[in-house]
């Protein structure tokens, strides 16, 4: 098996609503899609890098550079029986979002070559997955309460509220008083530090949160362990887990009790499976995070979330929660808090080529 053609595209897609996290906000997404062709099949993936280096050092532009200068030219030189064994430029350090883009397209391609769903190829076990929604920082407590109420009514099983210093304890108290039993959690995206913010974080123990996600530095595990030993709320790691090595260290140190797995962040699906397995063995639940993806990235996330260790609802919401119109058919739409898993070959959704081609603002093609 040899990849005959690789096509990398960028297309702008406007989120319906401005999405603010502690490090900044986004409305205009720059979606990067990769298509790999071999044996009459097409593997698809989406690069999760953001427009600005606020979540990770990688951005749309660094990923584009690493993909076009290094990964895709090297990929076209490789050959193997199973698409998943093709690892271009294994010497290349870091840049996991760029690397994951290639790896995830190869998984989709291999699933399509075998005419099985991506979920089945990954070892998934269920036909639908429980899902939640992530709410950006809102200007007022009223605006937040309105959104929480709306999403609970739609059936989401986990309501994630973005927090930052100054929009945290009082805001969470207000939302908890209005929704006493709702499955609520908070995500700080690394906005706090120890020891200065300890009291503020410990105060959140009063609100019965499902978890607090990534309260401390994006590359820290040690202070997270100290924090977890002193608060009751489970700490969930996001930014700090970039590899199997990171999760082994986190498990050893007790840096939390839960991991948010985003395949793009950890270099792909193989690495996600290893992190899943390590957490499962240690008794830590995992769930699948999101990066405001289009339906292409979402399809990969849904497939990954069918693995048995994904016991908590993922940040996998309806296409219509993000976009006026998604770029895949059918669009993702959950019912009763459960997202159906596409059962067609590979990612199981069809890219809308006419729309994708019309929106594309840059494209590079590689041919063997
Ligand atoms: O920290 O999980 C995060 C979006 C962009 C960057 C970081 C995060 C998020 C989300 C959105 O929470 C989840 C989604 O895609 O719905
Ligand atoms: Mg997060």
**Could you report the per-residue pLDDT of 231-242, keeping only the tens digit for each?**
999 999 999 999
pLDDT band at 22 (very low <50, low <70, confident <90, very high): very high
**Ligand minimally distant from the alpha carbon of residue 241:** 2
Average pLDDT, the chain: 98
**Pocket residue to mutate for ligand 1, from 13, 157, 160, 289, most atoms within 8 A of Cβ:** 289
Alpha-carbon span 315 to 133, nearest angstrom: 5
Angle in degrees, CA 303, 353, 363, rounded to 5: 95
Closest CA to 8 of 91, 88, 73, 86: 73
Nearest CA to ligand 1 atom 7: 291
Report the separation in Å between the CA atom of 324 and the middle of ligand 2, taken as the mean of its atom positions.
Answer: 24
Q: What is the pLDDT of residue 358?
A: 98
According to the model, what pLDDT value does residue 221 have?
98
262 is an active site residue: yes
Q: Which residue's alpha carbon is nearest to atom 1 within ligand 1?
A: 189
* Closest residue by Cα to residue 182 from 157, 147, 211: 157
Kindly name the residue from 147, 158, 160, 262 that is annotated as catalytic.
Answer: 262
Indicate the top mutation candidate among 57, 134, 238 to test ligand 1's pocket, ranked by most ligand atoms within 8 A of CB: 134
Considering the chain, what percentage of its residues have pLDDT values greater than 90?
100
Residue 162 burial (CB count, 10 A): 22
241 alpha carbon to ligand 2 midpoint, in Å? Answer: 11
- Expressed in angstroms and rounded, the spacing between residue 76 Cα and the centre of ligand 1 is 32
Q: Is 345 helix (H, G, I), strand (E, B) or coil?
A: coil
Q: Are 296 and 44 in contact (CB under 8 A)?
A: yes
Q: How far apart are CA 349 and CA 337, in angstroms?
A: 20
Residues 44 and 348 sit within 8 Å (Cβ to Cβ): no
285's enclosing H/E stretch is: none
Q: What is the pTM of this model?
A: 0.98
Once rounded to an integer, what is the mean pLDDT over residues 172-176? 98
Q: Ligand 1 pocket check: which of 315, 321, 322, 323 to mutate, most ligand atoms within 8 Å of Cβ?
A: 315
- DSSP secondary structure code for residue 234 in this structure: P
- Give the ligand whose atoms come closest to the C-alpha of residue 237: 2
State the pLDDT at residue 326. Answer: 98
Q: How confident is the model at residue 46 (pLDDT cuts 50, 70, 90)?
A: very high
Q: Tell me the three state secondary structure of residue 277.
A: helix
Per annotation, catalytic residue among 147, 158, 160, 162: 162
Quick one: pLDDT at residue 86?
98
What is the average per-residue pLDDT within 294-318? Answer: 98
pLDDT recorded at residue 177: 98
User: What is the C-alpha to C-alpha distance for residues 88 and 244, in angstroms, rounded to an integer?
Assistant: 20
d(CA 124, CA 144): 35
Atom number of ligand 1 nearest to Cα 189: 1
**Tokens encoding 348:** 């199981």
pLDDT of residue 368: 94
- Does an H or E element contain 350, and which? strand 350-351
Predicted local distance difference test score (pLDDT) of residue 156: 98
2 is catalytic: no
Residue nearest to atom 9 of ligand 1 (CA): 291
Distances (CA, A) of 335 to 129, 159, 230, 269: 10, 16, 38, 26
Confidence band, pLDDT 50/70/90 cuts, at residue 154: very high
Nearest residue (CA) to ligand 1, atom 12: 134
Q: What spacing in Å lies between the alpha carbon of 133 and ligand 1's midpoint?
A: 9
CA of 149 from ligand 1 middle (Å) equals: 20
- In this prediction, residue 68 carries a pLDDT of 98
Pocket of ligand 1 (CB under 6 A): 21, 55, 134, 187, 189, 238, 289-292, 315, 317
């Amino acid at each position: 098996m040899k990849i005959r053609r690789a096509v990398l595209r960028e297309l702008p897609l406007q989120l319906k609503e401005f999405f603010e996290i502690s490090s900044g906000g986004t409305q205009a997404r720059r979606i990067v899609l990769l298509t790999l062709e071999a044996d009459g099949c097409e593997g698809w993936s989406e690069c999760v890098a953001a427009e600005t280096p606020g979540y990770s050092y990688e951005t749309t532009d660094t990923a584009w550079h690493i993909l076009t200068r290094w990964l895709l030219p090297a990929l076209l030189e490789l050959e193997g029986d199973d698409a998943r064994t093709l690892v271009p430029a294994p010497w290349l350090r870091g840049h996991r979002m760029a690397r994951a883009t290639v790896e995830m397209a190869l998984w989709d391609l291999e699933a399509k070559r075998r005419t099985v769903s991506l979920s089945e190829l990954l070892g998934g076990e269920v036909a639908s997955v429980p899902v939640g929604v992530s709410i950006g920082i809102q200007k007022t407590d009223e605006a937040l309460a309105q959104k929480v109420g709306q999403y609970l009514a739609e059936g989401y099983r986990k309501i994630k509220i973005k927090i930052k210093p100054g929009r945290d304890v009082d805001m969470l108290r207000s939302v908890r008083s209005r929704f006493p039993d709702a499955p609520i959690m908070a995500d700080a995206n690394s906005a706090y530090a120890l020891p200065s913010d300890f009291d503020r974080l410990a105060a959140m123990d009063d609100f019965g949160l499902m978890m607090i996600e990534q309260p401390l530095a994006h590359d820290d595990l040690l202070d997270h362990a100290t924090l977890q030993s002193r608060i009751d709320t489970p700490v969930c790691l996001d930014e700090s887990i970039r590899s199997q090595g990171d999760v082994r260290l986190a498990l050893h140190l007790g840096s939390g009790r839960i991991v948010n797995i985003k395949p793009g962040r950890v270099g792909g699906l193989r690495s996600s499976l290893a992190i899943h397995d390590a957490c499962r063995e240690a008794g830590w639940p995992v769930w699948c995070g999101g990066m405001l993806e289009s339906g292409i990235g979402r399809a990969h996330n849904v497939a990954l979330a069918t693995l048995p260790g994904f016991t908590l609802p993922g940040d996998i919401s309806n296409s219509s929660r993000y976009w006026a119109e998604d770029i895949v058919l059918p669009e993702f739409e959950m019912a009763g808090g459960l997202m159906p898993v596409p059962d067609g070959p590979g990612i199981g959704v069809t890219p809308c080529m006419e729309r994708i081609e019309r929106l594309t603002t840059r494209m590079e093609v590689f041919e063997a």
